[in-house]
Amino acid sequence: MKNVILVVDDDKTNLSLAQRILGPQYRIAACNSGAAALTYLETHRPDLILLDINMPEMNGFEVMQKLRSNIQTELIPVIFLTADNLAETEIKCFQLGAMDFVTKPFVPDILLSRVSKTIELDQYRHHLEEMVNTQAQKITEDAMRLGRIQDSVIIGMANLIESRDGSTGKHVKNTQTYVGMIANELLSRGYFKDELTSSYIEDLCKAAPLHDVGKIKIPDAILQKPGKLTTEEFETMKLHTTHSRKIIQTIIGDIEDEHYVRLVEDIALYHHERWDGTGYPAGLTEDNIPLSARIMAVADVFDALYEERCYKPPVRPIERIMQIMSEGRGTQFDPVIIDVFVDMLPQLKNMLEK
């Protein structure tokens, strides 16, 4: 199929000459004014525009400005037609975005060559854009696929570790769900605006499954003990937080997303800190505890109470859990986060009691 060229010139002789020179190789559309050309372009998309500069009412430069300000026409290549050989005119042609210019009267071989080269160059540009877009899409798809694989590996590893204490991986899935619910509720209410964003919540939910990864280094005799831990055993159990950070630094510490790595480390290391400073491992207080860890603390305790463990039966009903956790407001938990979580009771009942 022949390429379409729109010739815009108020001189009928020039239109006829362009038709005779270009007609054998191209389909020619002709307009005798800038306004007529803009009307034509509302419904047609030529491969090239030959645009006369000196036209009454609307000159070629004015037409060109309108073409470049319209998303439908901004990429159509333009060659200016002019009888003006001034350097200023040539400079303005290229400043406005023309691909080339041809002087009048037309020299057939020159006009054909300029038109052919311009169309060829534009087709190459289109081809290059398609290649770039295709490659970019492939890279995006590959990154998403690798991300899904990474997430699956992380969750699988976390589930394997959690299963050692008899929770069969439910704790990983549950806490990830609760973390997302709490964070989104905080976001919707306008809390922690300096930190809490949609991308932060996405990273937070991806990080949550690794919060107890350090338990892999805790002996089974302690993890699976049905009764209360001794003081010495509890000190050993507390080490899972620092073990977690070391393991995280080993397995994902070298990835480029430093924010995500820091988020995972904060959750793993500090989710047993308490608002009043009596938690572990660092005894941090209040806002010194990272937001991610303060959110994780609420989700972690709720699931520990709601689900059965080797050392305790589940607590029921949910209202009782909320009462217990509310008693930790301002001592164990961030007051804002626990207040919002308690308000989420209807959502939790609807989800858990189906």
Residue 160: its pLDDT value, please? 59
This prediction has a pTM of 0.61
The candidate with the shortest Cα–Cα distance to 60, out of 96, 87, 30, 28, is: 96
List domains and CATH numbers for the chain: 4-133 (3.40.50.2300), 166-352 (1.10.3210.10)
Residue 190: its pLDDT value, please? 95
CB neighbours of 154 closer than 8 A, spacing ≥ 6?
206, 209, 210
> Percent of the chain beyond pLDDT 90?
57
Q: Name the pLDDT band for 136 (thresholds 50, 70, 90).
A: confident
Q: Across residues 214-223, what is the average pLDDT?
A: 85
Pairing mode, strands 27-31 and 4-8: parallel
CA–chain centroid gap for 195, Å, is 17
* Residue 57 CB neighbours (<10 A): 9
Residue 143: its pLDDT value, please? 64
Rounded Cα distance between 342 and 325, Å, is 9
Which string of DSSP letters, residue by residue, matches 223-256? HT-SSPPPHHHHHHHHTHHHHHHHHHHHHHTTSS
What single DSSP character describes residue 59?
-
Residue 153: its pLDDT value, please? 57
pLDDT digits (tens, 9 = 90+) for 2-23: 899 999 999 999 999 999 999 9
Q: Name the pLDDT band for 192 (thresholds 50, 70, 90).
A: very high
**Sign of the dihedral defined by the CA atoms of residues 300, 301, 302, 306, in that order:** positive
Rounded Cα distance between 44 and 6, Å, is 10
pLDDT digits (tens, 9 = 90+) for 121-132: 989 888 888 888
309 pLDDT higher than 80 = no
Residue 140: its pLDDT value, please? 73
Phi-psi category of residue 48: left, alpha or beta, with phi > 0 → left and psi -120 to 50 → alpha:
beta
Secondary structure (3-state) at 309: strand
Residues 98, 34, 45: CA angle, nearest 5 degrees: 65
Residue 209: its pLDDT value, please? 87
168 pLDDT higher than 50 = no
Q: Across residues 275-295, what is the average pLDDT?
A: 97
Cβ pair 237, 214 in contact under 8 A: no
Which tokens in the block code for residue 163?
Answer: 């299963």
Residue 321: its pLDDT value, please? 95
Question: What b/e sequence results for 299-338 when a residue is b if at least 16 CB atoms lie within 10 Å of its CB, and e otherwise?
Answer: bbbbbbbbbeeeeeeebeebeebbeebeebbeebbbeebb
Residue 167: its pLDDT value, please? 55
Which tokens in the block code for residue 192?
Answer: 């922690």
